[in-house]
Homo-oligomer: A and B are copies of this chain.
Amino acid sequence: MKVVKPVAPTETPDGKRKTQVTAQDLMDAAVDLLESSRSVSSLSLREIARAVGIAPNTFYRHFRDVDELAVALIDQAGRSLRGVIREARQRLSLERSAIRTSVEAFMEQLDSEDRYIHILLREMSIGSEAFREAVDRELNYFEDELRDELERIAQATGAQTLEPALVAKAITRLVFAMGAAADGKSAEKRKEMSEQTIVMIKMIMEGAQSLGRKANSTQ
Residues on A lying within 8 angstroms of B by beta carbon are: 37-39, 41-42, 121-129, 132, 162-163, 166-167, 169-170, 173-174, 176-178, 180-181, 183, 196, 199-200, 202-208, 210-211
Contacts and interface: CB of A to CB of B under 8 A. Distances in A.
A178 B173 CA distance: 7
Q: Is the interface of A mostly helix, strand, loop or mixed?
A: helix
A137 to B, nearest CB: 13
Contacts of A121: 125
A138 to B, nearest CB: 13
Contact of A180 (B39, B124, B163, B206): B124
A127 B203 contact: no
29 contacts: A37-B125, A37-B127, A37-B132, A39-B42, A39-B127, A41-B41, A42-B42, A121-B125, A122-B125, A122-B126, A125-B183, A126-B126, A162-B203, A166-B196, A170-B203, A173-B178, A174-B174, A174-B177, A177-B177, A203-B203, A203-B204, A203-B208, A206-B206, A206-B207, A206-B210, A207-B207, A207-B208, A207-B210, A210-B210
Given A39-B39, A126-B37, A170 B200 contact: yes
Q: Which of A124, A132, A163 has the most C-beta atoms of chain B within 10 angstroms of its own C-beta? A: A124
A128 B181 CA distance: 14
A200 B183 CA distance: 24
Nearest to A207: B207
A173 B174 contact: yes
A74 B39 CA distance: 17
